[in-house]
Amino acid sequence: MTGTVVNVAAICIGSILGLVIKRGIPERVSETVMQGLALAVILIGLQMAFQTRNPLIVIGSLALGGLVGAAIDIEGKLDRLGRWLESKVGGNGHGEIGRAFVAASLIFCVGAMAIMGSIEDGLTGEAKTLFAKSMLDGIASVIFASTMGIGVIFSAIPVLLYQGSITLAAGAVSPYLSPWVVAELTATGGLIIVGIGVTILNVNGFRVRVGNLLPAIFIAAAVTMVLENLKL
């Protein structure tokens, strides 16, 4: 769990620094930085998405995952959790903390680095991958917190639960994560990250309900494993 603990600490420290810096950043500068960050998030998402070996798996997983996510209303539950956190820390009630929490949580949790780094930490005790991720997340949290607010710091909670759970279950999960499975899982997660970037840009209030798409990641992994076993 060493890598995950360091990752969580980096997010918390970065968020605090971002909140301090925010006081001295003009609004026009914050907006410009946010737009640049959104474009960078889209680029990262696209790079991940292009790792797919079979786009049909990604398309089908997103469609089915979206149906499952909408049915159980993952986005709504995340938003309600964010509003609850906002009420506890004295937010203004307009959902800024909820949006920051959702966006930062998805960005920090989705991706091959989080999954493979957690498995590496759990199986070998080596946390080099998660240490590298901690540096990236720490820098990102400074920027996120300075532009989106205190909600970013709460993203450390799902990171702890998500990566920690994978680390603890690494012995059971790792045999099923072949390079093909990781590629399709990463590609599907990459497109979800593109959706996060588009939402952060906030063009005409357009919002991708990325929370409802989360099941697609696990569906992509499951479908790929089935096809791999069938030699298709």
pLDDT digits (tens, 9 = 90+) for 124-137: 777 877 888 888 88
Find the domain containing 94 and state its range: 2-229
Predicted confidence at residue 89, as pLDDT, reads 56
Q: How far is Cα 30 from Cα 188, in angstroms, rounded to an integer?
A: 30
| Highest mean pLDDT: which range of 24-33, 95-104, 107-116, 212-221 | 212-221
Record the pTM: 0.70
* Total domains, the chain: 1
Q: How far is Cα 188 from Cα 176, in angstroms, rounded to an integer?
A: 17
Digit-coded pLDDT (tens) for 60-91 = 999 999 999 999 988 888 777 767 766 665 55
Local confidence band at 13 (pLDDT 50, 70, 90 cut-offs): very high
CB neighbourhood size of 56 (10 A)? 9
Bigger pLDDT: 200 or 169? 169
| Highest mean pLDDT: which range of 26-35, 47-56, 111-120, 184-193 | 47-56
Residue 109 has pLDDT above 90, yes or no: no
| Mean pLDDT, rounded, for 89-114 | 69
SS (H, E, C) the chain: CHHHHHHHHHHHHHHHHHHHHHCCCCHHHHHHHHHHHHHHHHHHHHHHHCCCCCHHHHHHHHHHHHHHHHHHCHHHHHHHHHHHHHHHHCCCCCCHHHHHHHHHHHHHHCCHHHHHHHHHHHHHCCCHHHHHHHHHHHHHHHHHHHHHCHHHHHHHHHHHHHHHHHHHCHHHHHHHCCHHHHHHHHHHHHHHHHHHHHHHHCHHHCCCCHHHHCHHHHHHHHHHHHHHHCCC
Residue listed under structure tokens 């696209």: 46
